[in-house]
């Protein structure tokens, strides 16, 4: 008999959510979200293991692929897309692979998640190899597209990681490291865009942030590789440079200009100048 997925179960406390006052419905959702965060706290050791693996892959010249369908896949693409502007990492180093392609970012692509071979084909096109790592993301842990990605990783010797809300799922069993908090059933039964999605997003940004810190893309808690591509970010870069290099705002602007907007280079230049003057 097929084991029922915890992500599809009905939450007893939410059976009458359609008749609750709005304030009470919001309170119920809030409490369930808090429960999910507590569940994530129980698997922090697995997150730490994942960070170690991903740092090792990136340092060795490999790449990291977030692979998923629907909400899970969109979250993987979102987190990968934030890495270059925030941490200055080239966009090919952390990539998102979404069932249905870019069109699925805005609209459901029916049946895309059920094709277990599509993810393997997409990873093959991208040249998946033994130096790379695949992070397969699926709240239920049963999505064929995500499972196919881990199978493809195993075939080429790439590292296999998973983010799921069911530690007994096929996806968790197929991974070397499974980040699998038991978040329980949703307020709206089966709607894993809720706390399932929330906790997958939290897991992704925790892991990616820790990886970038380990890779030296942060000093103190300042983003030393941020790309100053807007007025707000230029001001942020100038502030970071002024603070870390102990130079005035005007000199910080000059250094950024001289370094073609490369904050890390500007910081090295400022410190080199400071050492020559001591």
Same domain (yes/no): 57, 138: yes
pLDDT of residue 149: 98
Q: How many CB atoms lie within 10 A of CB 44?
A: 12
Question: Does 5 reside within a domain?
Answer: no
Looking at the fold, whether 208 and 83 belong to one and the same domain comes out as yes
- Whether 7 maps to a domain, the answer reads no
Mean pLDDT, each 10-residue run in order, the chain (278 residues): 78 92 96 96 98 98 97 97 95 96 86 91 97 97 97 98 97 98 94 95 98 96 92 94 93 93 93 80
Residue range(s) defining the domain that contains residue 34: 12-214
Domain of residue 108, CATH code: 3.40.50.10490
Residue 1, in any domain of the structure: no
> Domain for residue 2, yes or no?
no
Same domain assignment for residues 245 and 205: no
Task: Please tell me whether residues 185 and 234 are part of one structural domain.
Answer: no
Give the pLDDT of residue 69: 96
Q: Which of these, 150, 156, 105, lies nearest to 128 by C-alpha position?
A: 156
- CA torsion sign for 213, 203, 72, 154 is positive
Whether residue 68 sits in one domain with residue 200: yes
Q: What pLDDT, on the 0 to 100 scale, is given for residue 211?
A: 98
Catalytic residue flag (residue 113): yes
Q: How many distinct structural domains can be found in the chain?
A: 2
Instruction: Tell me the CB-side half-sphere exposure of residue 32, using CA atoms within 13 A.
Output: 26
Residue 110 has a pLDDT of: 75
Structure pTM? 0.93
- Angstrom CA distances, 76 to 30, 50, 133, 261, stand at 24, 15, 14, 28
**Catalytic entry in 8, 56, 82, 219:** 82
- Does 87 map to a domain? yes
Known catalytic residue at 122: no
Catalytic residue among 32, 113, 122, 238: 113
């Amino acid at each position: 008999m097929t084991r029922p997925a915890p992500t599809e179960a009905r939450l007893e406390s939410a059976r009458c959510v359609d008749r609750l006052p709005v304030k009470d419905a919001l309170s119920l959702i809030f409490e369930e979200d808090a429960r999910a965060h507590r569940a994530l706290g129980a698997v922090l050791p697995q997150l730490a293991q994942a960070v170690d693996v991903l740092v090792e892959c990136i340092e060795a010249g490999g790449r990291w692929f977030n692979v998923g369908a629907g909400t899970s896949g969109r979250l993987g693409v979102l987190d990968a897309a934030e890495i270059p502007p925030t941490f200055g990492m080239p966009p090919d180093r952390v990539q998102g692979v979404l069932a249905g392609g870019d069109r699925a970012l805005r609209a459901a692509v029916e049946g895309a998640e059920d094709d277990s071979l599509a993810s393997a084909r997409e990873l093959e096109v991208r040249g998946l190899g033994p130096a790379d790592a695949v992070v397969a993301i699926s709240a239920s842990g049963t999505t064929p597209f995500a499972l196919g990605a881990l199978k493809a990783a195993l075939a080429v010797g790439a590292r296999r990681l998973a983010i799921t809300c069911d530690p007994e799922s096929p996806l968790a069993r197929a991974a070397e490291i499974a980040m699998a908090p038991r978040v329980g059933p949703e307020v709206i039964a089966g709607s894993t865009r809720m706390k399932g999605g929330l906790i997958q997003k939290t897991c992704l940004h925790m892991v990616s942030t820790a990886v970038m810190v380990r890779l030296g893309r942060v000093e103190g808690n300042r983003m030393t590789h941020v790309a100053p591509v807007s007025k707000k970010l230029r001001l942020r870069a100038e502030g970071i440079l002024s603070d870390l290099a102990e130079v005035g705002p005007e000199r910080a602007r000059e250094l950024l200009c001289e370094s073609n907007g490369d904050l890390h280079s500007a910081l090295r230049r400022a410190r080199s100048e400071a050492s020559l003057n001591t």
